[in-house]
Chain A
Amino acid sequence: MEQIGLFVLLLIVGYAFGRMAERRHLKSLIAREHEMNALPAIASRFPPTDRAYDQRLVSGSVVIASDHFKTFVSGLINVFGGRVTPFESLIDRARREALLRMKTEAQSLDAAYVFNVKYETSRIGSGRVPAMEVLAYGTALMASRTAAGD
């Protein structure tokens, strides 16, 4: 009985705090994405050739952990198959956050663009509640001062 009670409590806490954190994070993401829109992050490997650019590797990473509610529901989905919707919102937020962190670094370098942007993910949690790292990295292009002086 105690175990069932604790389990239900963890589910309720996971759901309530997970939803609250998710809403707050989404609001923050949308606001920051608007701010950062002036700095394009491009997947192409070929930088613009209109002028010379200094290049610098920039990256942003975030580690996300599921909660008991999401983990439990995703476990049940594994029985029947289908979209693991509880993790979709989690991964979506992590991807966007990692990109924003990468852009923040690029912005601090006065970059005009970030090219060759890629994502990598790796599972780092092996406990009962999974956790994952999402890393976004790319090549920041800064207008070359050397080239401008020539």
Chain B
Amino acid sequence: MVDYENRQPPEGINLGGVHPLRSFATLLVAAAVLVTGLVVVAQFAGAFAARLVPFATERRVVQGLDIAFGDAPADDPMRMYLNALAVRLAPGLDLPHGMILSVHYQRSDTVNAFATLGGNLLFYRGLLERLPSENALATVMAHEMAHVLHRDPVAGLGGGVASALVLSAITGSVGTGAAGDALSRTGLLTGVQFTRRMEARADRAAAVAVAGLYGHLNGAGTLFETLAETRSASHDRPGTPRWLERFVATHPLDEDRVETIAARARELRVPVTGPLTPLPDGFEDWLQAAPD
């Protein structure tokens, strides 16, 4: 008769011998290094390649898309004033020949202004109505113009697309679980280090232009002081340490930007005091004017 038996196999033959915490730590460090390294390379490569596109081509492509920036027509007094201010600031930024800018105006409560592709700048009423002087407005304007000068919008797009491709290639293999989320966040955190550098560079260039126009930097930091107050009144998180805020923020912190302006004034040997230039007569009416 055939004899059948089940022998007890030795324990552990189907198990990995590495301690789970050790493999966890090794994998976490390796994945963070991999994602950070690849996103840095992708950001640099994407931004470099995008900046090779001539500005004239970029502007032509954007014009061809026929995007409506803002709701104010070209003959709107606010929009005309903003464009005139950009023209006054241009010499201080050494804008190259052919770099044409268009400033647009949107009547909404958003507290923001930004530069985007094709040399287009958009200012929101929510921001303009918080500015106490032309000096503060000129600082924002020069900052956004500096982004165009540095080709930051197109570089940001190129770097962003390249790093998003890299991230999707990596996180695609791990699915949308917690590991995928953690790697995506690592990649995004790496990405914001680049945008913050762009912002800091634009701040420095803006200080030169504003100092060139007014001869001093009084009022340049007012905007950031106002924004800091607005933020602390709305969604500031008292539990978040400043070093962490600095690390995760897309822009330098308001207090750092005020300090940058002061440091820049010392470098440029321009005073931080001086007469403030008032906003033009009718500015308040232009703010409230209804769109045509």
Contact = CB atoms under 8 A, between A and B. Distances in A.
14 contacts: A1-B239, A15-B21, A50-B1, A69-B20, A72-B177, A72-B178, A72-B182, A75-B175, A75-B178, A76-B30, A78-B175, A79-B27, A79-B179, A83-B16
Given A73-B27, A80-B27, A48 B1 contact: yes
Majority secondary structure, A binding face: helix
B20 A86 contact: yes
Given A40-B6, A69-B24, A88-B15, A75 B180 contact: yes
Nearest to A39: B6
Contacts of A128: 176-178
A78 B27 contact: no
A98 to B, nearest CB: 14
Given A88-B16, A92-B14, A71 B177 contact: yes
Interface of A: 1, 7, 10, 15, 19, 26, 30, 33-34, 37, 39-42, 48, 50, 68-69, 71-80, 83, 85-86, 88-89, 91-92, 113, 128
Interface string B234-253: 00010110001000000000
Interface string B12-23: 001110101101
Can you list the 4 inter-chain pairs with the closest CB atoms, starting with the nearest? A75-B179, A85-B16, A76-B27, A40-B4
A1 B240 CA distance: 8
A76 B28 contact: yes
Contacts of A89: 14-16
A85 B179 contact: no
Contacts of A41: 6
Given A41-B6, A72-B177, A92-B15, A79 B239 contact: no
Contacts of B34: 79
Contacts of A83: 16
B122 to A, nearest CB: 31
B273 interface: no
Contacts, number: 96
A48 B14 contact: no
A132 to B, nearest CB: 15
Contacts of A34: 8
Contacts of B239: 1
Given A7-B178, A33-B8, 18 more contacts: A10-B178, A26-B11, A30-B11, A40-B6, A42-B4, A48-B1, A50-B1, A71-B179, A72-B182, A73-B23, A75-B178, A76-B27, A77-B23, A79-B170, A83-B16, A85-B15, A86-B23, A88-B16
B2 interface: yes
B23 A78 contact: no
A34 B9 CA distance: 11
Interface in B23-39: 23-24, 27-28, 30-31, 34
Contacts of A42: 4
B281 interface: no
Contacts of B27: 73, 76-77, 79-80
Contacts of B174: 75-76, 78-79
Contacts of A50: 1-2
Contacts of B14: 88-89, 91-92
Contact of B31 (A48, A79, A85): A79
Given A33-B8, A48-B4, A71 B15 contact: no
Nearest to B1: A50
Contacts of B267: none
